[in-house]
């Protein structure tokens, strides 16, 4: 859908920016009630990196993005782009461009005029504006729609215009505020791949805010999981998923079972022997979990396999009973009753004849190297 | 507004460098210095300065005069003197009866318009709005001709020697003049009530009458309250009608006028108008910040259904009869105004004549028409743009101080015209000098520059800007704030955003603001009669002298002329705005792609 060659030509030699946030804090409210929306965020984003701010609503991700853009001013802290301080720069002078959740296209301008808006403000020669706008429209596959009004476009097309309008400015940093959340599921999946492909090709430093974890997983070089105004973890998607820094992250990204465990001993570099489900196993562990008193063992539902067990057995240790079995086509989800509470198990590509019925007795195994020991918060 | 360092020495102190760990607990709350868009800041400063000169300065002068020396004596006599107590009582009575009557009439018209099925709705709407654009003395003068001691209806038709001067006449005239305010207010509320509530009540088994009593009326209570308060303030602040119709029934506004223009006692006039100012501003604040918050109108977006219009006999005929009678009265009054301009003296000597229009179009009358129109045209764009600017700063740009700026803007309308007029007369009739240096020449009065025209334009702007501001605020609240931010993010300064995005988007509100500014300027009277000069004649004040002199024919001709000018300019403005390029984006293809 996108014309990457045109996009590259448009981007030319624009240098991607290095963006640093140092101890950025935002306190809302006056003397009465104060809310720390963002609380001491430290973050450095490398040139060309695609970083996603992810978290539940109210975690401070949008406020952080708006502080980067300049629409909010931090209560304290520094925002530095390529070595120059951004705090004292008003939003319209920051070399950044933002793509909004509501697209925010100017309804009284055509697609072409929308894309040309920022260049017109720069008072560039008309011919140059014309050329760059055409390149941007081509790269977003919008040339045929150039003379339409925004309200004559579909949601996906409007989002493309918003993207073209931001890209044509050749920003050092591209900011995205939940840009896909107004699109339907299929279009959303398609657009996120397009944005990712485009960004990777052009190498623009990008900050992307979303509450959709699969969006974050699919697009990011690095995911910043935020909670209560603080960064819980900043890491590449696989590390966030496999080695979450906290129970919050493990719970927020994907699904997880948290099995009560007792640490027997720490066995050297990042592993520990724990007592879980009545047995002792050696599992990888978060550094905090090596010293903490209370620990839990995170096991992802797809890491667990089930085998048939003799009927009528006592629910104890690895022995459990199927409470619910839901067939989704490409996978089956089981809810098991065990001595430590209910456990979620996912079996993919199931053999239809071998699905355990509700009430069946099963024995559960999990790959201990896929488990992850965490400190109990 | 700029956020400056609050903690001493915080400004400029370098925050901890990236990577350097800082103890979160031990940190002193440091406010980072933020410089916002300088263009926006400059705009705020300019707008505030303009508003201070237009409204705050004259108001402050009145306050100072009112509490000093002679003024203070009058203030004390408000309580001690029986005459003054009577004046205050009169004013309150007038405000209450007009507030009640106007609200009821406004509701009847609004309900008929919103919920009844009948033909001629559009026409009824236009007729109900005539009093808004009508010159101030038209209704009063026509009422004297119709219902006065020798009135066409009272004496010649019914043989009753009614005395229209005093409370009864004021009640009638002010109710007719001001009910459109309640009408518009309640019509807006009725239309925005969610029809699904009616449907819910109906599905629960309620009859139409029951729904009206238990659902519709209670939901409108904030609307009734705010309508009553608005009319109360309009009625007590009105000066034009008490001057013509008051007779022995003295109210605060007319008393202040007599003090200033008859007794040359400016402090006393200031004191009387201060007493008028207090309830006006109180009611304004209550109406705006208290009633508005109790609104039951659901603003969740599109209404879920359509209201079922009443068609039955008992639901329609009695109400439509009352509305029809009032409409007939309004039409008779304005018919009298039009006809009265073409006969010698309507009701006394009904010989057709063009003498009044000859007088109007030559000499003094002509000067007044040209001066007034030119000054109103000069005030129109200033008031229109200023109103939109304030609205835009209030809704989209300011965080802190937005309430204050909003209030400052609306003050020009909230303060009674008498107060503004006296304030201008005493503030701007002498040059402003500081340390012997003349900063500003005299703007008002006979000896002022441009024959006092500047002060008149300023009054026009101060009085007519708030309406534009209000419609601008309403329009801007409909617009996604992200659009403003998108423009900023693309590099536009505050002024560029306002010019390229905001103004085109609120074009209808801007147009409404412009037309209202013009109509309001042409018809404003109470502040004008304090600052009009022999060099600058204003139609409304000319009408007053014609009425005073008993030359009703000239007055009627003036009124008709004024209405025609207002309608013509409104029409031209509509046309102009529609023809301007860039109203809608060019549409190469009509088809909507999937």
Smallest Cβ–Cβ distance between A23 and the set B22, B31, B501 belongs to B22
- Is the pLDDT score of A16 beyond 90? no
For the record, the structure tokens of B255 come out as 């008393």
Give me the residues paired with residue A343 across strands: A336
Domain ranges of chain B: 35-66+353-578, 67-298+317-340
- Min Cα–Cα distance to chain A from B9, Å: 14
Angle of helix B167-192 versus helix B313-340 axis, rounded to 10: 130
3-state SS class at A193: helix
Count CB-CB contacts under 10 A for residue B12: 7
At B445 the pLDDT is 67
Q: Does B505 touch chain A if contact means CB atoms closer than 8 Å?
A: yes
For residue B493, the 8-state DSSP code is -
Smallest Cβ–Cβ distance between A121 and the set B17, B491, B505 belongs to B491
For the record, the structure tokens of B383 come out as 């008031």
Of A252, A244, A257, A256, nearest in space to A284 by CA = A244
Smallest Cβ–Cβ distance between B589 and the set A91, A101, A148 belongs to A148
Task: Identify the burial level of B362 via C-beta atoms within 10 angstroms of its C-beta, where 0-12 means exposed, 13-18 middle and 19 or more buried.
Answer: exposed
What average pLDDT does the segment B90-119 reach?
92
Alpha carbon separation from B171 to B134, B137, B340, B550 (Å, rounded)? 18, 14, 23, 22
What is the strand order of the sheet A50-54 is part of?
Answer: A96-99, A173-177, A205-210, A50-54, A222-227, A230-235
Cα A219 → chain centroid: 8
For the record, the structure tokens of A238 come out as 């696989």
Higher pLDDT, B347 or B169: B169
At B30 the pLDDT is 37
Cα B270 → chain centroid: 22
The three-point CA angle A269-A271-A275 to 5° equals 155
Interface mutation target, options A108, A113, A184, chain B, most CBs of B under 10 Å: A108
Q: Name which CATH class applies to A4-242.
A: alpha beta
What average pLDDT does the segment B367-375 reach?
89
pLDDT tens digits along B226-277: 888 888 988 988 888 998 888 889 998 899 888 888 888 888 888 888 888 8
Q: Which residues contact B183 (CB under 8 A, 6 or more apart)?
A: B105, B106, B107, B109, B110, B113, B128, B129
pLDDT tens digits along B31-48: 333 445 777 888 899 999
The single residue listed with the structure tokens 């998607």 is A237
Report d(CA B418, CA B269) in Å as an integer.
9
Ramachandran category for residue B205: left, alpha or beta (phi over 0 → left; psi -120 to 50 → alpha) = left
The CATH topology of domain A255-375 is OB fold (Dihydrolipoamide Acetyltransferase, E2P) (2.40.50)
The single residue listed with the structure tokens 């004046």 is B87
DSSP per residue, B506-529: THHHHHHHHHHHHHHHHH--TTHH
- Min Cα–Cα distance to chain B from A106, Å: 7
Domain ranges of chain A: 4-242, 255-375
For residue B126, the 8-state DSSP code is H
Of B32, B486, B16, B489, nearest in space to A90 by CA = B489
Which residues from A are below 8 Å from B31, CB to CB?
75-76
CA pseudo-torsion sign B217, B219, B225, B231: negative
Smallest Cβ–Cβ distance between A71 and the set B20, B30, B485 belongs to B485
- Min Cα–Cα distance to chain A from B424, Å: 39
The single residue listed with the structure tokens 């066409």 is B152
Of all residues in chain A, the one with the smallest CA distance to B492 is A92
Which architecture does CATH list for B67-298+317-340?
A: Orthogonal Bundle (1.10)
Interface mutation target, options A19, A62, A106, A163, chain B, most CBs of B under 10 Å: A106
Per-residue confidence at B593, pLDDT binned at 50, 70, 90? very low
Which residues from A are below 8 Å from B583, CB to CB?
108
Per-residue confidence at A25, pLDDT binned at 50, 70, 90? very high
- Is the pLDDT score of B296 beyond 60? no
In chain B, positions 467-486, which contact chain A (CB-CB < 8 Å)? 480, 482-483, 485-486
Confirm whether B35-66+353-578 and B67-298+317-340 share one CATH topology: yes
What average pLDDT does the segment B60-66 reach?
88
- Min Cα–Cα distance to chain A from B528, Å: 40
pLDDT tens digits along A178-223: 999 888 888 899 899 989 988 888 889 999 999 999 999 999 999 9
DSSP per residue, A263-276: EEEE-STTEEEEEE
Which architecture does CATH list for B35-66+353-578?
A: Orthogonal Bundle (1.10)
Angle of helix B539-548 versus helix B507-523 axis, rounded to 10: 30
pLDDT tens digits along B151-198: 788 777 777 777 888 899 999 999 999 999 899 888 888 887 777 777
């Amino acid at each position: 859908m996108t014309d990457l060659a045109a996009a590259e030509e448009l981007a030319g030699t624009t240098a991607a920016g290095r963006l640093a946030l140092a101890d950025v804090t935002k306190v809302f409210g006056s003397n009465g009630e104060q809310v720390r929306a963002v609380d001491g965020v430290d973050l450095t984003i490398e040139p060309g990196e695609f970083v996603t701010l992810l978290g539940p609503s109210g975690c401070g991700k949008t406020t952080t993005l708006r502080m980067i853009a300049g629409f909010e001013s931090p209560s304290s802290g520094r925002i530095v782009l390529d070595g120059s301080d951004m705090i004292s720069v008003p939003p319209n002078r920051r070399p950044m461009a933002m793509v909004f959740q509501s697209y925010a296209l100017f309804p009284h301008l055509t697609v072409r005029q929308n894309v040309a808006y920022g260049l017109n403000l720069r008072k560039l020669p008309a011919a140059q504006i014309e050329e760059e706008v055409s390149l941007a429209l081509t790269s977003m596959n919008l040339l045929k729609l150039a003379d339409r009004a925004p309200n004559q476009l579909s949601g996906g097309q409007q989002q493309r215009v918003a993207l073209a309008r931001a890209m044509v400015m050749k920003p050092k940093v591209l900011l995205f505020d939940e840009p896909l959340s107004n699109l339907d599921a299929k279009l959303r999946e398609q657009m996120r791949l397009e944005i990712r492909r485009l960004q990777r090709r052009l190498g623009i430093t990008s900050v992307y805010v979303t509450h959709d974890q699969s969006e974050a997983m699919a697009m990011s070089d690095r995911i910043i999981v935020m909670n209560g105004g603080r960064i819980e973890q900043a890491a590449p998607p696989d590390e966030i998923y496999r080695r979450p820094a906290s129970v919050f992250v493990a719970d927020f990204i994907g699904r997880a079972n948290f099995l009560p465990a007792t640490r027997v001993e720490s066995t050297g570099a990042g592993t520990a022997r724990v007592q879980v489900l009545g047995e002792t196993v050696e599992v990888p562990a978060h550094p905090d979990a090596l010293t903490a008193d209370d620990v839990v063992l995170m096991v992802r539902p797809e890491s667990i396999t089930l085998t048939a067990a003799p009927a009528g057995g006592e629910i104890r240790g690895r022995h459990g009973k199927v409470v619910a079995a839901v067939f989704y086509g490409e996978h089956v989800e089981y809810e098991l009753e065990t001595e430590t509470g209910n456990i979620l198990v996912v079996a993919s590509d199931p053999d239809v004849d071998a699905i355990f019925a509700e009430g069946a007795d099963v024995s559960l195994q999990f790959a201990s190297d896929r488990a992850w020991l965490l400190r109990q918060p | 507004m700029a956020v400056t360092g609050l903690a001493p020495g915080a400004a400029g102190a370098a925050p901890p460098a990236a990577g350097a760990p800082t103890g979160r607990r031990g940190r002193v709350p440091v406010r980072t210095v933020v410089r916002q868009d300088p263009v926006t800041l400059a705009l705020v400063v300019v707008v505030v300065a303009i508003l201070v000169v237009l409204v705050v300065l004259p108001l402050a002068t009145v306050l100072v005069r009112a509490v000093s020396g002679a003024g203070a004596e009058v203030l004390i006599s408000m309580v001690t003197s029986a005459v003054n107590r009577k004046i205050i009582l009169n004013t309150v009575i007038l405000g209450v009866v007009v507030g009640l009557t106007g609200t009821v009439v406004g509701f009847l018209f609004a309900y008929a318009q919103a919920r009844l099925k009948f033909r001629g709705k559009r026409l009824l709407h236009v007729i109900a709005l005539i009093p808004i654009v009508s010159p101030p003395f038209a209704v009063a003068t026509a009422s004297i001709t119709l219902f006065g001691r020798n009135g066409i209806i009272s004496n010649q038709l019914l043989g009753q020697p009614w005395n229209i001067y005093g409370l009864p006449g004021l009640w009638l005239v002010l109710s007719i003049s001001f009910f459109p305010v309640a009408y518009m207010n309640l019509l807006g509320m009725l239309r925005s009530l969610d029809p699904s509530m009616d449907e819910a009540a109906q599905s629960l088994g309620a009859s139409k009458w029951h729904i009206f009593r238990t659902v519709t009326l209670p939901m409108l209570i904030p609307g009734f309250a705010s309508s009553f308060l608005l009319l109360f303030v309009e009625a007590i602040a009105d000066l034009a009608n008490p001057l013509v119709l008051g007779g022995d029934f003295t109210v605060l506004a007319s008393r202040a006028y007599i003090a200033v223009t008859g007794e040359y006692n400016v402090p006393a006039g200031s004191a009387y108008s201060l007493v008028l100012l207090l309830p006006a501003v109180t009611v304004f604040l209550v109406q705006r910040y208290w009633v508005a918050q109790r609104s039951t109108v659901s603003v969740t977006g599109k209404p879920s259904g359509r209201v079922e219009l009443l068609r039955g006999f008992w639901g329609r005929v009695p109400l439509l009869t009352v509305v029809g009678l009032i409409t007939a009265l309004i039409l008779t009054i304005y018919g009298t105004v039009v006809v009265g301009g073409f006969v010698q003296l309507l009701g006394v000597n009904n010989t057709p004549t063009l003498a009044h229009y000859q007088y109007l179009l030559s000499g003094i009358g002509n000067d007044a028409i040209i001066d007034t129109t030119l000054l109103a045209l000069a005030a129109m764009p200033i008031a229109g743009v200023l109103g939109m600017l304030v609205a835009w700063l209030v809704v989209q740009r300011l965080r802190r101080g937005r309430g204050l700026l909003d209030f400052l803007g609306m003050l020009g309308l909230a303060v009674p015209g008498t107060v503004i007029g006296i304030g201008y007369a005493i503030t701007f009739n002498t040059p402003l000098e500081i340390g012997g240096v003349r900063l500003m020449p005299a703007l008002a009065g006979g000896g002022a520059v441009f024959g006092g025209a500047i002060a008149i334009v300023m009054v026009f702007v101060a009085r007519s800007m708030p309406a534009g501001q209000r419609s601008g605020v309403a329009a801007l609240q409909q617009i996604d704030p992200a659009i403003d931010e998108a423009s900023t993010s693309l590099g536009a300064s505050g002024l560029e955003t306002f010019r390229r995005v905001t103004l085109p988007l609120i074009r209808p509100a801007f147009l409404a603001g412009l037309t209202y500014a013009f109509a309001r300027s042409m018809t404003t009277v109470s502040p004008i009669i304090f600052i009009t000069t022999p060099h600058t004649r204003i139609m409304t004040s000319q009408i007053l002298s014609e009425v005073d002199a008993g030359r009703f024919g000239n007055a009627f001709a003036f009124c008709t002329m004024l209405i025609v000018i207002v309608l013509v300019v409104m029409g031209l403005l509509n046309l102009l705005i529609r023809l301007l390029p860039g109203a809608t984006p060019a549409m190469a293809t009509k088809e909507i792609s999937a």
